[in-house]
Amino acid sequence: MAFELSAMRKMYREDQYTHLMQVRGKSAIDKRELMDTLIKLPIRAKAICLVNLVTANRPNEMVRLKISDFDLKNKSVHVYLKKQKRWHTKRLTPEVIIAIEDYIREYNLKADDYFVGRVYKNERYESTVISEIGYCKALKRWTGGLTGYNFRKSQVVAMHAAGADLPTIAQQTGHKSLETLVQHYLTVSETTLDKYL
């Protein structure tokens, strides 16, 4: 077994097989175009997607949010960062706050209800933590194939393009390491390259 594993690793290091090791992350989408698309979604999908985009939450953070975590008066939401095992406050925009208020009103949500929860075909809401896989499937269904990581990367890229420094971006996204933020989210875009060619 160890010999077979060693042989496979050696094979992957050969030039003809390097394409098998290529890793591509989720793409960033132009935030304005994405916002224009999300604004047209039904009330629940719109609120959830807009919160996911602006907060740059991970799926595990989204499914655990409760209505009580939102402080709409102070334009913020308190998010439990599972990966770092700590609470973190993220900012919300007026557009997102309106979408959240519409969602709360439409579904008669209470403070203890889960923000995402589950909605059945008859539009009956159930306050429960859905799985991250279920959440990702819902996002893909609502947006034509996008995931929370597309939202996360789009928010980081949009903030950076608007002139935000790395600590400011990390404050909104909840990144602990600026190095991780740069390595995984702030690759130079083709548009930026084209601008200087």
Mean of pLDDT values over 132-149: 94
Kindly tell me if the per-residue pLDDT of 40 is higher than 80. Answer: yes
Average pLDDT over residues 128-136: 95
Q: Which of 32-41, 66-75, 163-172 has the highest mean pLDDT?
A: 66-75
pLDDT of residue 22: 46
> Which three-class secondary structure state does DSSP give residue 13?
coil
Name the one residue in this structure whose structure tokens are 């959240």: 100
pLDDT-derived band at 175, boundaries 50, 70, 90: confident
20, 41, 90, 116 from 2: Cα distances, Å: 21, 52, 47, 45
Residue-level pLDDT at 3: 75
Q: Round to whole Å and give the CA distance between 90 and 78.
A: 6
> What is the per-residue pLDDT for 194?
75
pLDDT mean over 82-111: 96
Euclidean distance between CA atoms 132 and 135, whole angstroms:
5
Average confidence (pLDDT) over 17-36: 69
Report residue 89: phi and psi, to 5°.
-100, 130
Is the predicted pLDDT of residue 5 greater than 70, yes or no? no
Q: What is the mean pLDDT of the chain?
A: 87
- Of 35-44, 52-61, 128-137, 183-192, the range with the lowest mean pLDDT is 183-192
List the CATH code of the domain at 31-196.
1.10.443.10
**What number is the average pLDDT over the span 169-186?**
78
> For strand 76-81 and strand 86-91, is the pairing parallel, antiparallel, or unpaired?
antiparallel
Find where tokens 């402080």 sit.
71
pLDDT for the residue numbered 23:
43
Lowest mean pLDDT among 48-52, 79-83, 95-99: 79-83
User: Would you list the domain boundaries of the chain?
Assistant: 31-196
Residue 87 has pLDDT above 80, yes or no: yes
